[in-house]
Structure 1
Amino acid sequence: MASNSLHETICMAKQEKHKNLFLNYRNLSKFPVELLMDEGLQFLERLYMKRNSLTALPENLAQKLPNLIELYLRSNNIIIVPEAIGNLSRLQSLDLSDNALQIICPEIGRLRYLRHLRLANNQLRFLPPEIGDLRDLETLDVSMNRLSALPERLQHCLSLQCLTADRNTLSCFPRQLCQLHSLNELSMAGNCLAALPLDLGRSRELQFVFVDNNIHLKGLPSYLYNKVIGCSGCGLAVHVSDVRLLSVDSGEMTIPLPAEVKAIGLEADRVLPLQELAMRVLHNMYRAPMKEIKTHQTRQHFSSLQLSNFDADFLPPISLPKSLLELLQCPLGHCHRCSQPMFTIVYPKLFPLRETALAGVHRRTTVSFVAYCCSSQCLSMFDLQS
């Protein structure tokens, strides 16, 4: 009876050229052959197949359902997504949450119109860098996986508004992702974060940041001050095992700084290292040409340039190590007082956690705001109220 009902539903969809097809809760263990026969369903735009028992997708899915805009496969047992998924050229929304995925194929990056990608509650250990090719992506949910890192190429997803990566094993958040100027909500609760990028929160668009239950995290960049933050369960009295991290001490609490920070300036130290001075001079020399990149189309082109192109087009004919070229393109952070870019050295200043949008939730004294300044002069002048 159930088989007859499924057959009738698909036949009716073919005859009446339906754009939406609902096959939820059908106990399907295989993709229905009726969808793949003859010319398929050329008019179908939305396919709902959640809460079934599917383990795989057909290789000819795009050939038989070429006009799919939305594909919902939540709560199945899918282990592998075929490379042919990249042929669904019109797809805008893909939901593969609550499956058994271990790998996402690089062909996912060919879905150039994809706006919403949900991969929560799978067994993913890494994301392919090609996700950075999804320039129209607005929502990315990779929570409840086994990710230890996020790809830096996510910085090219210029339309990304909501990034959710809760309950993974992330130990850091790439500073390059602070350049996602459309990002409005960032959630990284329940990970292994010990520090956050110096520039996190500098973008005015970013208003919601949730880092709850990262027990090694004891400091928040002061750019997050007066934004909606969640930090309940952070800064618990545990031993931070990574002693290689630089830290700043308030007398009562030691806060590890991001691993990229190479030196900490002292209050009385007014002479910057030669490398820092040289990087600032180079950045200021070539900031003007980069500011001329104003149009959206040109900005997209610039963001997609490889490091070699960046070197050739925007840097002088000198030889710099790759690590310094990367720093020149994406500084460690910007001074919280004067916005001067910083490359190798910071001057940190601690402030106790004060009233925030969620102050009534966490009420902790073990979490502080950290201001990062470019000099002892800016450090002495900076205050959270200014």
Structure 2
Amino acid sequence: MASELHETIFMAKQERHKNLFLNYRNLYHFPVELLKDEGLQFLERLYMKRNSLTMLPDNLAQKLPNLIELYLHSNNIVIIPEAIGNLARLQSLDLSSNALQLLCPEVGRLRSLRHLRLSNNQLKSLPPEIGNLQFLETLDVSMNQLVSLPDRLHRCSSLQHLSADHNLLSRVPRHLCQLARLTQLSMAANRLTFLPLDLGRSRELQFVFVDSNLDLKGLPSYLYNKVIGCSGCGVSTQSCEPGQESQDKVLSEALSGLLAEVKVVASEADNVVPLEELAMRTLHRLYDRQQRNCTDVNLPPAIPLPKSLLELLQFPLGHCHRCTQAMFTIIYPKLFPMRHTALAGVHRRTTVSFVAYCCSSHCLRTFNLQS
């Protein structure tokens, strides 16, 4: 086996191969032949699936500087070296099905990275530096032990596919609603109780899979007519049309997870929006106008504000489903049971309902899913 490996690497050096396949070689250590002398300066793709590697060499980037793809699926790698950040040309990194317990912040230096796959590891957190990967298109962190996603993930402006199935997530950061290119979001089998009010507001987002989140009882109505997977969510469906009392109960349960962020859940009888909310809406319009007229996106607003309020201005809690007015401390909810939507025939066995969030009693009265 060793002689065969040596011959394979020797031929790759002699013939200046750009692709090298070392899958299923029962390797326990990274082959030293790859790192001798000048290494394989011309190698672009290295495949080492289903071996027994436990670590990567610190001089990997020095010896293989032109790597575009590094495929390490199904090994026993516990940690990757900080020097991984020196792979300046790397576009695809697959560390799925390893034993990773920690992801070093230097991953954020892989500025050319487009695909990062970390599924089936033992990760409990992700470094915020992932937000530096502006060209990242695919992020798969399924089957880990994540309890949260980094808020700075919204800075990955090219992200299209985000999969975080089978983790311990209790919430989806509302900043993710700012990902203008996100087309698919999969967060099945977590501990979600609600989804951000704005989720689905982007036209690009077409596929949302939140199956097997047992306490998830309501979806934002911006997701209406998207392709949704929500089997196994919520409580059992009633065969007959529920009465108002039943609807109120479902709505109350659907909103229970929002109360930590929404200060007031208003009813149609409330006609006066609190002064704090009106002030925030006014400041948001001024801030938004300033941001559009200034190329420096980090410029603070003309009116100095505490950091917490400034973050609210940048990322409102949600936008009215009727008039798109930004909302910060108050919402007017309206329940649309699943059987009233176009998806009822697709998801007959689910009890997840759609909830519209409006900015006033007027918008609440005039909003429906067909408008």
TM-score (norm 2): 0.93
User: What pairs with 1:150-165 in structure 2 (closer than 5 Å)?
Assistant: 150-165=149-164
Could you tell me how far 1:359 is from its partner in structure 2?
4.2
Could you tell me how far 1:291 is from its partner in structure 2?
2.3
Q: What is the percentage of aligned positions where both structures have the same residue? A: 72
**Residue type matched to 2:274 in 1?**
P
Q: 1:212 — aligned with what? A: 211
Secondary structure at the aligned position of 1:251 is classed as helix
**Residue type matched to 2:308 in 1?**
S
Where in structure 2 are there 5+ consecutive unaligned residues? 237-244
Q: Which digits, 9 at most, give the CA deviation of each residue in 1:82-126, with x for residues without a partner?
A: 000000010000000000000000000000000000000000000
Q: 1:334 — aligned with what? A: 319
Does structure 1 retain, via aligned residues, the 8 Å contact 2:143–2:166? yes
Partner residue of 1:372 out of 350, 357, 364: 357
Q: Which digits, 9 at most, give the CA deviation of each residue in 1:38-83, with x for residues without a partner?
A: 0000000000000100000000000000000000000000001000
Q: 2:308 — aligned with what? A: 323
- Alpha-carbon spacing, 1:29–1:138, altered in 2? closer, same or farther (3 Å): same
Could you tell me how far 1:236 is from its partner in structure 2?
2.9
Distance 2:342 2:321 in 1: 21
Distance 2:268 2:246 in 1: 13
Could you tell me how far 1:356 is from its partner in structure 2?
6.2
Distance 1:185 1:169 in 2: 20
Q: Which digits, 9 at most, give the CA deviation of each residue in 1:296-344, with x for residues without a partner?
A: xx6xx73xx4xxxxxxx241233x3322211111100000000000011
Q: 4+ residue stretches of structure 1 with deviation over 4 A? A: 355-361
Could you tell me how far 1:352 is from its partner in structure 2?
0.4
Q: 1:52 — aligned with what? A: 51
**Residue type matched to 2:30 in 1?**
F
- Alpha-carbon spacing, 1:347–1:364, altered in 2? closer, same or farther (3 Å): farther
Pairwise CA RMSD: 1.6
**Residue type matched to 2:272 in 1?**
V
Could you tell me how far 1:357 is from its partner in structure 2?
7.2
Secondary structure at the aligned position of 2:269 is classed as coil
Where in structure 1 are there 5+ consecutive unaligned residues? 238-247, 306-312
Does structure 1 retain, via aligned residues, the 8 Å contact 2:90–2:113? yes
Distance 1:229 1:347 in 2: 24
Could you tell me how far 1:268 is from its partner in structure 2?
1.4
**Residue type matched to 2:279 in 1?**
A
Could you tell me how far 1:251 is from its partner in structure 2?
3.1
Distance 1:365 1:137 in 2: 33
Q: 1:34 — aligned with what? A: 33
Distance 1:145 1:359 in 2: 32
Distance 1:365 1:144 in 2: 24
Q: Which digits, 9 at most, give the CA deviation of each residue in 1:194-216, with x for residues without a partner?
A: 00000000000000000000000
Q: Would you say 1:251 and 2:252 are equivalent positions? A: no
Does structure 2 retain, via aligned residues, the 8 Å contact 1:44–1:68? yes
Secondary structure at the aligned position of 1:107 is classed as helix
User: What pairs with 1:1-386 in structure 2 (closer than 5 Å)?
Assistant: 2-236=1-235, 250-253=247-250, 254-255=253-254, 256-258=256-258, 259-292=260-293, 302=297, 305=298, 313-318=299-304, 320-354=305-339, 359-364=344-349, 366-386=351-371
Distance 2:246 2:27 in 1: 58
Distance 1:133 1:249 in 2: 46
Distance 2:357 2:159 in 1: 26
Does structure 2 retain, via aligned residues, the 8 Å contact 1:87–1:111? yes
Could you tell me how far 1:355 is from its partner in structure 2?
6.8
**Residue type matched to 1:168 in 2?**
N
Distance 1:166 1:316 in 2: 42
Q: How many pairs align?
A: 359
Could you tell me how far 1:385 is from its partner in structure 2?
1.1
Moved more, 272-281 or 248-257: 248-257
Distance 2:235 2:308 in 1: 34
Could you tell me how far 1:219 is from its partner in structure 2?
0.1
Does structure 1 retain, via aligned residues, the 8 Å contact 2:69–2:92? yes
**Residue type matched to 2:196 in 1?**
P
Does structure 1 retain, via aligned residues, the 8 Å contact 2:225–2:343? no
Moved more, 354-363 or 38-47: 354-363
Distance 1:95 1:29 in 2: 18
Does structure 2 retain, via aligned residues, the 8 Å contact 1:115–1:139? yes
Could you tell me how far 1:285 is from its partner in structure 2?
1.7
